């Protein structure tokens, strides 16, 4: 990945920053994995509290928030 310095006379290919691109992708991957682990734990705890029911409606806002954060992270890292 290269970044434009917005300096007249300098092209964006002069400033290649591979570690920054790797960092962005690692952060997105790890945060999504952590949010998936959080959602898994919440579902398992919900089933332990009320066995036999498959209701996850009380956790829906958390799932939506986790998806929005992961999507925002992915979108910003790919820009």
User: What pLDDT, in 10s, does the model give residues 13-23?
Assistant: 777 788 888 88
Structure tokens at 55: 């209701």
Predicted local confidence at residue 12, as pLDDT: 74
Statement: the pTM of the whole predicted model exceeds 0.85: no
* Cβ-count burial 19-48 (b if 16+ within 10 Å, e if not): eeeeebeeebeebbeebeeebeebeeebee
User: What pLDDT, in 10s, does the model give residues 22-78?
Assistant: 888 888 888 888 888 888 888 788 777 776 665 656 677 888 888 888 888 878 777
Residue 1 has pLDDT above 60, yes or no: no
Predicted local confidence at residue 33, as pLDDT: 87
């Amino acid at each position: 990945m290269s970044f434009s310095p917005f300096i007249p006379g300098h092209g964006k290919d002069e400033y290649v920053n591979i570690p920054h691109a790797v960092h962005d992708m690692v952060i997105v991957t790890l945060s999504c994995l952590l949010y998936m682990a959080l959602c898994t734990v919440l579902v398992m705890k919900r089933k332990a509290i009320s066995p036999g029911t498959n209701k996850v409606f009380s956790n829906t806002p958390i799932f939506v928030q986790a998806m929005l954060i992961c999507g925002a992270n992915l979108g910003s890292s790919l820009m």
